Amino acid sequence: MMSRGRQKRQRTGHPDLLPSKQTDATHELERLCSSGRYEQAITLGESILELETSAPNQGAVRILLATANIQLGRIDRGEQMVAGSRAQLATAPDPATLVECMAVEASIAQIRQQANAIRLAEDALYTCRKLNPIPSRLEVQILNTLAAANLVAGIWEQAVGFYEQAIERAGPLFDLRRRAKLMGDVSIAYRELGRLDRSIQFATRSVEILETLRDLVALARSENNLGLTLMAVGDLDSARTHLERSLELCHATNLEMGRSHVLLSLCELNAMEEKYAPARDFAQQALVYAERLQEPSSIAQAHLWLARVATSLGDPAIADCEFERAIDQLARTGQGEELLRSHALYSETLERRGELRRAYEHLKAALAHATRNRLELAENGPPKW
């Protein structure tokens, strides 16, 4: 028969995690997450959960596990963990853990490109700023999510504002990894605003830091950002180098969530070089990943690129079909800015074909969406935070 000590160790699933060491183990879990060692963090965190710990500590561990899984693109598992943490709050209410849950939920909505991502992030930021003291790390995390959600929605000025707030709140003592990720993100917003010098500056610095830190998951995203900005300034050879590096990192890290973005970037690059067959292949690959991982904006963008490539290849029937799929996707998911752009692009395409009546219908739809967006902004007023 086993001794009682042996039985205890076997039940916890980790011989070093005795109850007296639970606090140290949780601190180690935080360190692993903050240093980007997500696989190790998940192994340790799941071992901690097997212990008989307090409800608040269980909730905190689940939040860290949710974060690690999300960083690795395991969004469903991350959702399960944050739901478990929410359940812990029913028996042990804790304002800080509640905000952590709200922050992760907003992040998941933003990654999945859901229409409610901005609202969830605004609620999380409002609740976070009611805490005393305000936890700076958590505030920066929420600001980053809110900026990214505005970026997807095409609200560029607000996205830049939130990113700059996040960088300011991070302060000089914020760790390099998170500063590098913020720099990569703000570079996207500057690119959309046409401030390409600032975009290249932030994207290049982000790549340099993440390469040094060997955070390959974050590096894959930053390489894509830098590649897109280099495309915007016309440096296609350098852009290809960075985009191909990004795709290599996606494969090396088994990163699927967000891979559609890299594939769409390569599609755009090949289209700019008038290499339409590979451009179409990249768009089709992007569509497969976007549909599998439920990324509505990327689904629409893949259809738009398939439409544009078909137009360049002289196949109007396929182009029409892909334009309609993109517009339908955007209309169902409430992405007004992208919907406006898609109608405008389709209108231009039809006009070039000489189909003026249909072109006018889509131009009218674009104007209607623009008017509706302005009215909604005026009615909603400023956010509560």
Residue ending a domain, among 211, 235, 254, is: 254
Task: Decide if pLDDT at 110 tops 50.
Answer: yes
At 338, list the tokens.
Answer: 């992208």
Mean pLDDT, residues 304-328: 95
68-72, 136-140, 172-176, range with greatest mean pLDDT: 136-140
Task: Decide if pLDDT at 108 tops 80.
Answer: yes
Quickly state the pLDDT bin for 323 (edges 50, 70, 90): very high
Q: Are residues 349 and 374 in the same domain?
A: yes
Determine, yes or no, domain membership for 128. no
Kindly report the average pLDDT of the chain as a whole number. 84
* 359 touches 351 (CB < 8 A): yes
Check residues 111 and 271 and name the one with the higher pLDDT. 271
Supply the CATH number for residue 217's domain: 1.25.40.10
* 295 touches 113 (CB < 8 A): yes
Task: Decide if pLDDT at 109 tops 50.
Answer: yes
Q: Are residues 279 and 363 in the same domain?
A: yes
Summarised one tens digit per residue, pLDDT across range 15-61 is: 444 444 556 777 888 888 877 788 888 888 888 888 755 655 777 88
Check residues 70 and 18 and name the one with the higher pLDDT. 70
* 187 touches 163 (CB < 8 A): no
- What is the Cα–Cα distance from 264 to 271, expressed in whole angstroms? 10
Q: Are residues 187 and 243 in the same domain?
A: yes
Q: What is the pLDDT of residue 376?
A: 53
| Domain hosting residue 247, numbered range | 175-254
Q: What is the pLDDT of residue 11?
A: 35
DSSP secondary structure string for all residues of 269-335: HHHHTT-HHHHHHHHHHHHHHHHHTT-HHHHHHHHHHHHHHHHHTT-HHHHHHHHHHHHHHHHHHT-
Mean pLDDT, residues 115-120: 91
How many domains are contained in the chain? 2
Determine, yes or no, domain membership for 228. yes
Residue ending a domain, among 226, 254, 282, is: 254
Summarised one tens digit per residue, pLDDT across range 215-257 is: 898 899 999 999 999 999 999 999 999 999 999 999 998 888 8
Check residues 181 and 353 and name the one with the higher pLDDT. 353
Q: Are residues 374 and 279 in the same domain?
A: yes
Q: Are residues 224 and 264 in the same domain?
A: no
Please choose, from the candidates 98, 116, 96, the residue with its C-alpha nearest in 3D space to the C-alpha of residue 106.
116
Q: What is the pLDDT of residue 166?
A: 87
Task: Decide if pLDDT at 120 tops 70.
Answer: yes
Determine, yes or no, domain membership for 221. yes
Q: What is the pLDDT of residue 10?
A: 37
* Its pTM surpasses 0.75: no
- Name the least confident of 137-151, 162-176, 245-259: 162-176
Summarised one tens digit per residue, pLDDT across range 169-182 is: 877 656 788 788 88
Determine, yes or no, domain membership for 357. yes
Determine, yes or no, domain membership for 204. yes
Mean pLDDT, residues 295-315: 94
Q: Are residues 206 and 323 in the same domain?
A: no
- What is the Cα–Cα distance from 291 to 297, expressed in whole angstroms? 10
Q: Are residues 370 and 347 in the same domain?
A: yes
Determine, yes or no, domain membership for 5. no
- Name the least confident of 73-82, 85-94, 348-357: 85-94
Determine, yes or no, domain membership for 161. no
* 72 touches 37 (CB < 8 A): no
* 220 touches 261 (CB < 8 A): no
* 296 touches 335 (CB < 8 A): yes
Task: Decide if pLDDT at 168 tops 80.
Answer: yes
Check residues 126 and 371 and name the one with the higher pLDDT. 126
Mean pLDDT, residues 308-320: 95
